[in-house]
């Protein structure tokens, strides 16, 4: 791993992109351009903050989040890859794969003509546990940070056999009170209700929250809007290359068991995840690549 001074020398942009190291040894990229600010941990290439200028934070990070090497960070936008949820045959493999706790490298930083900042992260071969994943694949995360935020997760199959992956951008969004928000855009979608053991249901109307919610919406490709009356805004989630949308809030009892959400953390977050999960997993032919792309943007709403 390059030193902070070397990272700043090679990839820093004066008054816009810099690298720092916290007390736990985590290296973070800090972006501050005329349109927004952001922070990304090199562990997991995990976005932990995005704040458009003049707006409140869009991404939620738990006040109890622990930044420990090899441990997942509660909040932000973790990268779930190359499987989503528990591994289908190996119970001792980490949930949601190894990418979110692996150390990534930064391979490109630039200011674009429209004033946004583009960062490219790659998962090096040395960070892939061979006992968990022996396929010849590469993984990149390309972020564009500005008044909107884009993430393009790119998987390539360099091998001679097809490879099947599950994946998600497990993004936690900050909301005023989860009990007052609505999710629009999932109406009439079939979903797997994981709270009830994977029972298939059909969404009727907007999604609202009154209890623990853990759902995989299948063949869900439309934009999703998080309508937040307390924060007087809509968060629009636009995506390509994602056939599933995962919606999660742990509610009270599950939050207490997790231990790193805080007493009322669940009230101020909702996960809306762009995914290819369950029966929507992706199979890549030899030489093929797949893009899971998402754009987050804000719009005001009246009281």
Catalytic annotation, residues: 170, 273
CB 195 within 8 A of CB 213: yes
Which residues lie below 8 Å from residue 207, measured CB to CB, with a gap of 6+? 182, 183, 186, 213, 247
Long-range contacts of 249-253 (CB under 8 A, 24+ apart): 249/178, 249/209, 249/212, 249/213, 250/212, 250/214, 251/209, 251/211, 251/212, 251/213, 253/212
Ranges assigned E (strand) in 161-232: 163-165, 167-169, 172-174, 182-184, 190-193, 199-202, 213-217, 224-228
CA-CA distance, 81 to 71, in Å (whole number)?
15
């Amino acid at each position: 791993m390059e030193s902070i001074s070397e990272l700043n020398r090679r990839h820093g942009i004066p008054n816009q992109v810099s690298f720092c190291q916290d007390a736990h040894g985590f290296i973070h990229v800090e972006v501050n351009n005329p349109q927004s600010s952001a922070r990304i941990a090199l562990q997991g290439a995990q976005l932990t903050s995005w704040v458009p200028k003049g707006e409140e934070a869009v991404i939620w990070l738990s006040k109890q989040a622990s930044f420990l090497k090899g441990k997942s960070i509660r909040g932000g936008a973790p990268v779930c890859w190359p499987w989503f949820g528990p591994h289908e045959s190996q119970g001792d493999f980490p949930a949601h794969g190894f990418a979110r706790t692996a150390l990534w490298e930064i391979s490109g930083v630039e200011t674009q003509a429209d004033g946004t900042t583009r960062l490219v992260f790659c998962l090096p071969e040395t960070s892939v546990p061979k006992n968990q994943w022996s396929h010849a694949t590469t993984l990149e995360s390309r972020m564009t940070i500005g008044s909107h935020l884009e993430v393009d997760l790119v998987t390539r199959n360099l091998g001679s056999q097809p490879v099947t992956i599950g994946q998600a951008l497990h993004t936690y969004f900050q909301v005023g009170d989860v009990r007052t928000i609505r999710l629009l855009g999932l109406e009439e979608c079939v979903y797997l209700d994981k709270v009830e053991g994977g029972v298939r249901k059909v969404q009727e109307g907007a999604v609202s929250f009154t209890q623990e919610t853990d759902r995989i919406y299948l063949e869900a490709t439309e934009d999703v809007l998080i309508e937040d009356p307390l924060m007087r805004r809509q968060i629009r989630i636009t995506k390509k290359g994602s056939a599933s949308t995962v919606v999660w809030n742990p509610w009270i009892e599950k939050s207490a068991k997790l231990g790193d959400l805080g007493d009322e953390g669940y009230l101020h977050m909702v996960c809306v995840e762009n995914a290819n999960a369950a029966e929507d997993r992706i199979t890549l032919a030899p030489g093929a690549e797949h893009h899971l792309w998402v754009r987050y943007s804000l719009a005001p709403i009246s009281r």
